[in-house]
Each structure stands twice: as structure tokens, then as C-alpha cells.
Structure 1
């Protein structure tokens, strides 16, 4: 881990812990500040340290983080206005498409070992989740179906990324994609099916881990590229 990532990691953990505490305390109104700060910090960090990445990676990642930030803000009010839940869902759908574009641009020339197995698992999981939720979705059946397809596409393209040099950046990104699925699954079950104990802690905790791992994995790709360039020169 590079020295510059250690202070940011502690700062990021502080923001996440603060939001988790606020969300389970008598000061939930402060979440309008603490929740957006998490993605704002990641967005600014990636925006600064990711500048040397190819534009095909840098720009859509910034968009993914920006759409995620918008989604976080919209979902702060989803219990008050159903429109805000739909806007939040749409924002995260766009974030997943942007991430999928990034991962597709980094795709391996050949399908990685186990691709069809992982694809089958993800499709089976997504289909099962949708079927379990379907009766409770009402008018949101199509938006939720599209969203599940979007996040599955993001996860599948994350698995299909090219492995270069050290496996750590690849593993971080794919693990982050899986944490994203876990976070959204808990959120969906809690909202449409049944109350999940400590849902706020579980949803935000896994969500923060997901975004952090994806960003650090992509930045690790940049560091690796620089090292390769130095060896060549």
C-alpha cells in the first residue's frame, strides 16, 4: 500500500464510521451531510490521483462516482418521495454502466478461466433475487429488473478484466463489485421484502467497501502501468 493511501484510508474510514453512527443515533438529520461526504472524498481522491490513467478509464470512472454520489443524495429522501427512490435507482444504474464501460475497456483478449461458471452464478443469483422480490415491486418491476441487469453487467465485466502483473488490482475491483451486489441485495430485501436487522450498518458498510476497493483497484492499475513504463525505458 502506498504511503499516500494510508492517510486517506483512515480519513475514509472516519467518514464511514461517522455516517454509520449518525444513521443509528438521534442525529439522523445530519446524514444529509455525512452520507454524501463518503463519495465526495473518493471522487476527489480519484480525480486527483487518477489523472494519468487513459481517458477511456479516467472519465467514465469519474462519471460512475458522480452518479453514485447523486444516487446517495436521492436515496436520502426515498422514504418521503417515491420519485427520489426511482431517481436514486436510475443514478446507480448509470454508475454501474459507467463502471462496466471502464472494465470493458480493460477486458482480457481471451475470456478468463472460470468466466462461464461465474457468469452462471451471477445470473442465477440475480434471477433468484428478482423472483423473490417480484410480487412486492408493483410498478417498479421493470426498473428493478433493469437495475439488476446493470449491476450484473458491472460484476461480469469486472471479472473479465485483463490481469496484468500483480493480481491485487484485479482482485480489488472484482471484490468491490461483489460487495456492491451484497449491499444492493440487503437494501432491496429491507425495502421490499422484510426488515433486515442493522440494515443501515450492513448496506452502508458494504457499499463503502465496494466503492473504495473499486477505486483503489483502478488506481493500482495506473501504478502498475507506470512501473512497466519505467522498466521499458
Structure 2
């Protein structure tokens, strides 16, 4: 995968490093505003060129990336609570688009890997419930939005796990680890915003976020269904 898309991977690595540099050094605000939209824009281009957006799966991932781009821009506009809420809403829709795409793969053979499905359900439920109740005392009026967001991000990781045995191994692993990175990024963001601020939070949050979007996109580019419903 890395050698196959060497030019794009090199470009994304440059964007990745520059974005982390701007998060580390807050004086590089112009660099941050330049590189942050490029994260998703480059992935949109890669997904379009790599798949030509054939089928509903790739179209839903593409739509999710568009909402992620909107979320990135809204969160760049400052600490205004309204922008934060709009950004949260955009990323919520992004996750729902990803869930709907992953569901297509699960539906291609829903009878497979029932044991794995039960494990995924238990792990995601444990994380979602445990994490929410840990940060709940710090949320105030944000309790309901964060509850909804926690449910959706946990469901996204669960649906990514449900793709097991239904797609090629590399696509499954890329998207599963992408979903896990998304979960880590969102958890760090919530901890930093609502519980306790920590040094270099932006660096860790953005590193996990960029890894998540990259892995999900490349997993989509590499996707091959093993059990296929017509016109998926």
C-alpha cells in the first residue's frame, strides 16, 4: 500500500508533519490555517482518483470526508461555542456517513463472524459507557451532545469491526485502526476541553485525527468485497 501510492503518501506525510509543527508552535498560525484544510482535501482527491467513486461505499466515504472538511474549518474559526457546536455536528454527520458505508460491507454477509461481532459490541459498549460516565460530571450543558457523539463514535468502531471476513484483510485492518484512531482523537479532545488541559494536546489530537482519516481513506481505496451484494 505504501509503495503503491508513494507520491500521495509522500505528500500526505509533508502535510502531516507541517500540521503537527503548527500545533506545536502556536506562532505558526498561518501555516496551521493552510495545512489543516489540506488534510481532507488531499484525501478527497486520493479517494476520487483511486476509486472513481464507483458504488455507494466510496460515495459515502467521500461525503463523510466533505463533512469532516466542514468540521475542520468550523473548529479553526476560534473558541466560539457556536462554531464548536457546528463543528461537532459536522463530524457527527461524518461519522454517520462512515457507519452507513461500513454497514454496506456488513450487510453483504451478515451471518459471518458472529463471535467477533459479539466481542466488538461488548468492547464498544464498555468503552462508550465507561468513558461517558467518566467525563459526565465535567460536561454541564454539553452532556446530551457528548452522549450522542460518544454513541455514534462507538458505533462507528463497532461497524468497522463488523467488516471482518467480508472484505480483504488490508482494507479491514486499515479501516478498523482508522476508527480506533478516531476514537483516540475524540477522547483526547473531550478530555482536554472538558476535564483537564494538558501540554501539546493539539499535537496528539491532530496526529490521531490525521492517522484516522488517512487509514479510513486508504482502506476504502484498497477495499475488495469478498461477499458481494449486487451494485454495492
Q: TM-score scaled to structure 2, two decimals? A: 0.90
Q: SS at the partner of 2:163?
A: coil
What is the match of residue 85 of structure 2? 86
Matched, 1:9 2:2: no
Matched, 1:23 2:32: no
The CA distance in 2 between the partners of 1:140 and 1:198, in whole Å, is: 24
Matched, 1:49 2:50: yes
Work out which structure has the larger RCO, using CA pairs closer than 8 Å and 6 or more positions apart in sequence: 2
Q: Number of residue pairs matched?
A: 223
What is the match of residue 230 of structure 2? none
Runs of 4+ displaced beyond 3 Å:
none
Aligned pairs for 1:45-194 within 5 A = 45-51=46-52, 53-54=54-55, 56-79=56-79, 81-107=80-106, 108-112=109-113, 113-164=115-166, 166-194=168-196
What is the match of residue 204 of structure 1? 206
CA displacement at 1:2 relative to structure 2: 6.6
Q: TM-score scaled to structure 1, two decimals? A: 0.89
The CA distance in 2 between the partners of 1:75 and 1:52, in whole Å, is: 28
**Residue deviations 1:131-180 (CA, integer Å, cap 9, x gap):** 12112211111111111111111111111115257411111111110110
The CA distance in 2 between the partners of 1:4 and 1:41, in whole Å, is: 17
For structure 1, the 5+ residue unaligned runs are: 226-233
For structure 2, the 5+ residue unaligned runs are: 227-232
